[in-house]
């Protein structure tokens, strides 16, 4: 994946423009010539204030730089953002300038909007004011900062269109994102407070806003039959409303009808109609909001803040993690316990945060980490490992409930943005802890540190999905943290594996699990597989005991993998299928994970690949008949970028997906090909899929990922139509017949 999920989160935390700032008495900042280029973070502040790190700390400059709206914060955040987008923006052509009502009035006649450009601009520290706003111009665009939006750059055709409309004074307002690619990477866009501007090759840049924008979003944006906008919004004759043309039709808005979608084939009918009540109406959602007719997605509860993972304590009893708050919340029968069960300090930039959870029962007189003697995980000389065997001899009297949590720890409370960029030593690292549920069920107590992993290479690719397997061991998947210099990332000359890019298999006490494949080197004994770029999905087939994961590609090739013990997923040597790399040589893979180990991992191709990244997230193999026999033991996979829920059947021996037609080659080359595997779309970007103890499927989702990120969380329960109050039609057709006949 082109880090779609990663870039989405990072763009909300992004940092903006370059400036030099000298601290003056009474908190007055003097903006000097902005053409100079300076370092980021601590080095930047050292140079700006001509002080040592110790002096900076004593003078509270570093502390102030962590306060949104303070002048050290504005200076640093703009500098870092410019560094991130320097190739697109070019060199500065103005100082950082405050936007005020006065500057609006003085510059209304100037075609550069509210700009007040000069080489000597003095502004007051307005960190206590909610309406503080700043901008800086560059050769190819500008960066704007507003307290409730953060810093965002606009450049090129999109900037020119925004400037034509009146910049931040227009109906679009301030930018809410940097320029970003659409999921298909065939256009770019910036989202603004009042709409968006899309830049499409050979078409140009066009705005879209208001009711027409909302209608277009409701039918799937550019993935609908309408495609991209080819004009700005235009008024209808005699002020009757507005029309916006698209590649495949138009959206018309009138006060009488609201927003109506018109297919291009119906244009003649529309223009011949004299009455807005007779405008043609089509099935707007046919191409996008697709949900199988025999199941219904019912909201269970809302009000979450960026939920990442969930785990069940019992039917209708769920623990849910909130990424940036570092909290564990408990929902019982649809109601939340008022206080979180746990609230820890987490680093929040990028993909850091509270990330993964698993629950296990500890039974009296029986160590849940012990497996049966017949639990043989060796390959017996074959490529495929044997299944993981369940310990069925457990007493039914649990003495305690363990809750395992994986998160990026921080020394200070929920740090992010500039603070993490500036104070990287505040990030402790990724940690796996085992907690116990308090007897009254309202707190997590007695933390025990099981794993201490690096997290300071980058804020990306932290991984974190985990589960308790049928062998009562803990499985945890960890990404490469954007560092690709170890043998676990198939760098043949790299450092020994350091705990990133791997799947762990450990006991509930944190010890290496029996039968792990790399036991000849104690430093590798906890690893089950490696070569992982990043992942948000991990599950074990309840029928066979085999491990499956999802993996995010760089720019192409999101994957579904069957993970046998000792599996090498191939990153960084290969992504996708070997047949798509005609010149690939297996000698490109790392020989071993360390200098001491003689065991080489086994590479195998993914079982499914998206040629265009979809931001694949969780995976769940549904071992229940509560939705009907047609869904039992099927695989469900989610994506965050295109808000899809996919369904796959497995072949007879359950080592491959059952694929036919255009997917028989195991590749979805475009959205049309992937349509046959989509069973639902349009109700949010799914971050987690779980099966409840009573056999129902649950989804945790955020409200919107694209085009504007909204981390408001919601949990859905998937139920059969017969149990729902929502009207629908039953569909008993075989899934395979539906796909392949």
* φ, ψ (nearest 5 deg) of residue 666: 70, 15
Confidence class for position 422, pLDDT limits 50, 70, 90: low
Give the pLDDT mean for 414-418: 66
Confidence (pTM): 0.78
DSSP, res 601:
P
Are residues 534 and 486 located together in one domain of the fold? yes
Confidence class for position 546, pLDDT limits 50, 70, 90: very high
Q: In Å, what is the CA distance from 79 to each residue of 16, 85, 135, 354, 541?
A: 6, 10, 12, 28, 48
Task: Specify the pLDDT at position 118.
Answer: 27
pLDDT at 535: 97
The count of structural domains within the chain is 3
| Separation of first and last alpha carbons in the chain | 32
pLDDT tens for each residue of 508-522: 999 999 999 999 999
Q: Give every strand in the sheet of 608-610, ordered side by side.
A: 537-540, 547-551, 558-563, 608-610, 667-668
Question: Are 177 and 247 members of one domain?
Answer: no
Distance from CA of residue 255 to its chain's centroid?
Answer: 38
How sure is the predictor about 267, in pLDDT bands with cuts at 50, 70 and 90?
Answer: low
Do 729 and 618 fall within a single domain? Answer: yes
pLDDT value at residue 6: 40
Q: Is the pLDDT of residue 123 over 70?
A: no
Is the domain of 2 the same as that of 134?
yes
Residues 516 and 404 in one domain: yes
- The pLDDT value given to residue 454: 85
Q: What is the rounded CA–CA span in Å between residue 67 and residue 254? A: 45
Averaged pLDDT, 192-209: 95
Mean pLDDT across the stretch 12-20?
Answer: 27
Percent of the chain at pLDDT exceeding 70: 73
Look up residue 487 and give its two tokens.
């043998």
User: What pLDDT band is residue 452 in, cutting at 50, 70 and 90?
Assistant: very high
Tell me: do 331 and 344 sit in the same domain. Answer: yes
> For residues 443-470, b (16+ Cβ closer than 10 Å) or e, as one string?
bbeeeeebbebebbebbbbbbbbbbbbb
pLDDT the model gives residue 423? 61
pLDDT of 114 reads 31
pLDDT score at 245: 92
Residues 355-373: tens digit of each pLDDT: 999 999 875 544 333 333 3
Average pLDDT over residues 475-492: 92
The verdict on 245 and 265 lying in the same domain is yes
Which of 241, 260, 288 is a domain's end point?
288
Under 8 Å between Cβ of 647 and 636: yes
Q: CATH code at 588?
A: 2.120.10.30
Query: Does residue 19 have a pLDDT over 50?
Result: no
Give the range with max mean pLDDT: 36-40, 325-329, 555-559: 325-329
What average pLDDT does this structure show over 10-18? 29
Predicted local distance difference test score (pLDDT) of residue 740:
61
Q: Are residues 310 and 341 in the same domain?
A: yes
Q: Per residue, what are the HEC states of 361-389?
A: EEECCECCCCCCCCCCCCCCCCCCCCCCC
Mean per-residue pLDDT, 657-686: 88
pLDDT surpassing 80 at residue 152: yes
Going by their DSSP bridges, the two strands 502-506 and 474-478 should be labelled as antiparallel
Q: What's the mean pLDDT in 498-502?
A: 95
Q: How confident is the model at residue 9 (pLDDT cuts 50, 70, 90)?
A: very low
Q: What's the whole-number average pLDDT of the chain?
A: 79
Q: Could you tell me where the beta strands, DSSP code E, fall in 541-650?
A: 547-551, 558-563, 567-568, 602-603, 608-610, 616-622, 634-639, 644-650
Which range of 130-139, 233-242, 480-489 scores highest in mean pLDDT? It is 480-489
Confidence of residue 286 (pLDDT cuts 50, 70, 90): very low
Last residue of a domain, one of 156, 173, 193: 193
| Euclidean distance between CA atoms 167 and 174, whole angstroms | 8
Domain end marker among 288, 309, 326: 288
pLDDT score of 80: 73
Ramachandran angles phi, psi of 722, nearest 5°: -60, -25
Say which residue, 531 or 741, is predicted with more confidence.
531
* 667-668/608-610 β-pairing: parallel
The verdict on 205 and 169 lying in the same domain is no
Q: Which residues of 134-161 are buried (b: 16+ CB within 10 A; e: fewer)?
A: bbbbbebbbbbbbeebbbbbbbebbbbb
Percentage, residues of the chain above pLDDT 90:
52
pLDDT at 313 over 70: yes
Average pLDDT (684-699) is 95
pLDDT of residue 10: 33
pLDDT value, residue 87: 84
Residues 169 and 199 in one domain: no
Q: Beta-carbon neighbour count of residue 35 at 10 Å? A: 12
Structure confidence at residue 101 (pLDDT): 60
Checking if the pLDDT of 374 tops 70, the result is: no
Q: What is the pLDDT of residue 269?
A: 60
Quick one: 272 and 377 in the same domain? no
The answer to whether residues 324 and 335 belong to one domain is: yes
Q: For position 352, what pLDDT does the model report? A: 93
More confident site: 479 or 399: 479
Rounded CA-CA distance 22/10 in Å is 29
Q: What integer is the mean pLDDT of 325-347? A: 94
Q: What is the pLDDT of residues 708-719, one digit of tens each?
A: 778 899 999 999
The domain in which residue 275 lies consists of 195-288
């Amino acid at each position: 994946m082109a880090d779609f999920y990663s870039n989405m989160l990072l763009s909300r935390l992004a940092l903006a423009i370059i400036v030099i700032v000298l601290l003056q008495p009474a908190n007055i900042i003097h903006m000097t010539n902005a053409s100079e280029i300076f370092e980021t973070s601590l080095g930047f502040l050292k140079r700006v204030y001509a002080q040592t790190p110790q002096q900076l700390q004593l003078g509270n400059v570093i502390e102030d730089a962590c306060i949104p709206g303070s002048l050290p914060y504005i200076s640093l955040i703009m500098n870092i953002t410019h560094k991130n987008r320097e190739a697109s923006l070019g060199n500065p052509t103005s100082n950082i300038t405050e936007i005020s009502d006065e500057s609006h009035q003085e510059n209304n006649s100037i075609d550069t909007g509210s700009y007040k450009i000069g080489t000597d601009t003095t502004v007051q520290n307005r960190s206590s004011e909610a309406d503080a706003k700043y901008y800086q111009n560059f050769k190819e665009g500008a960066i704007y900062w507003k307290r409730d939006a953060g810093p965002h750059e606009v450049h090129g055709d999109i900037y020119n269109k925004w400037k034509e409309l009146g910049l931040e004074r227009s109906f679009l307002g301030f930018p809410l994102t940097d320029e970003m690619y659409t999921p298909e990477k065939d256009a770019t866009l910036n989202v603004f407070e009042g709409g968006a501007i899309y830049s499409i090759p050979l078409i140009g840049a066009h705005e879209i806003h208001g009711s027409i924008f909302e209608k277009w979003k409701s039918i799937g944006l550019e993935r609908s039959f309408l495609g991209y906008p080819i004009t700005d919004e235009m008024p209808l004759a005699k002020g009757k409303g507005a029309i916006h043309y698209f590649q495949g039709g138009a959206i018309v808005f009138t006060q009488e009808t609201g927003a109506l979608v018109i297919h291009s084939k119906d244009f003649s009918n529309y223009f011949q109609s004299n009455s807005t009540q007779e405008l043609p109406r089509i099935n707007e959602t046919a191409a996008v909001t697709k949900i199988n007719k025999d199941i219904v997605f019912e909201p269970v509860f809302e009000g979450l803040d960026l939920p990442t993972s969930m785990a069940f304590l019992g039917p209708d009893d769920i623990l849910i993690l909130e990424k940036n708050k570092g909290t564990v919340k408990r929902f019982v029968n649809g109601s939340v316990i008022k206080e979180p069960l746990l609230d820890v300090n987490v680093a929040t930039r990028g993909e850091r945060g509270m990330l993964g959870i698993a629950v296990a029962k500890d039974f009296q007189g029986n160590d849940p980490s012990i497996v049966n003697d017949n639990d043989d995980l060796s390959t017996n000389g074959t490529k495929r490992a044997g299944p993981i065997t369940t310990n069925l001899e457990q007493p039914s009297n649990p003495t305690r409930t363990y809750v395992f949590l994986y998160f990026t720890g921080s020394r200070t409370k929920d740090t992010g943005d500039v603070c993490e960029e500036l104070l990287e030593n505040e990030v402790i690292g990724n940690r796996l802890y085992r907690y116990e549920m308090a007897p009254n069920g309202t707190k997590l107590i007695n933390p025990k540190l099981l794993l201490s992993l690096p997290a300071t290479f980058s804020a990306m690719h932290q991984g974190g999905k985990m589960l308790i397997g049928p062998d009562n061991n803990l499985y945890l998947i960890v990404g490469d943290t954007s560092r690709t210099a170890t043998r676990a990332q198939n760098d043949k000359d790299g450092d020994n594996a350091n705990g990133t890019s791997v799947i762990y298999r450990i006991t509930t006490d944190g010890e290496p699990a029996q039968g792990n494949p790399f036991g000849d080197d104690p430093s590798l004994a906890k690893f089950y597989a490696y070569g992982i770029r990043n992942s948000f999905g991990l599950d074990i087939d309840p029928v066979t005991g085999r491990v499956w994961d999802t993996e995010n590609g760089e720019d192409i090739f999101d994957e579904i993998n069957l993970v046998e013990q000792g599996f090498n997923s191939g990153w960084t040597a290969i992504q996708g299928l070997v047949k798509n790399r005609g010149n690939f040589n297996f000698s490109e893979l790392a020989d071993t994970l360390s200098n001491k180990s003689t065991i080489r991992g086994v590479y195998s191709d993914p079982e499914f690949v998206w040629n265009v990244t979809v931001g694949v997230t969780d995976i769940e193999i549904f071992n229940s008949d509560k939705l009907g026999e047609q869904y039992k033991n099927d695989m469900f996979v989610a994506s965050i970028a295109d808000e899809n829920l996919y369904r796959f059947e497995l072949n007879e021996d359950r080592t491959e997906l059952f694929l036919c037609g255009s997917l028989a080659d195991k590749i979805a080359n475009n959205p049309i090909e992937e349509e046959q595997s989509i069973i639902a779309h349009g109700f949010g970007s799914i971050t987690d899929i779980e099966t409840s103890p009573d056999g129902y499927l649950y989804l945790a989702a955020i409200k919107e990922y694209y085009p504007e990120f909204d981390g408001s969380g919601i949990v859905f329960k998937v139920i059969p139509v017969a149990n729902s109050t929502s009207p629908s039609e039953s569909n008993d057709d075989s899934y395979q017949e539906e796909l392949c006949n």
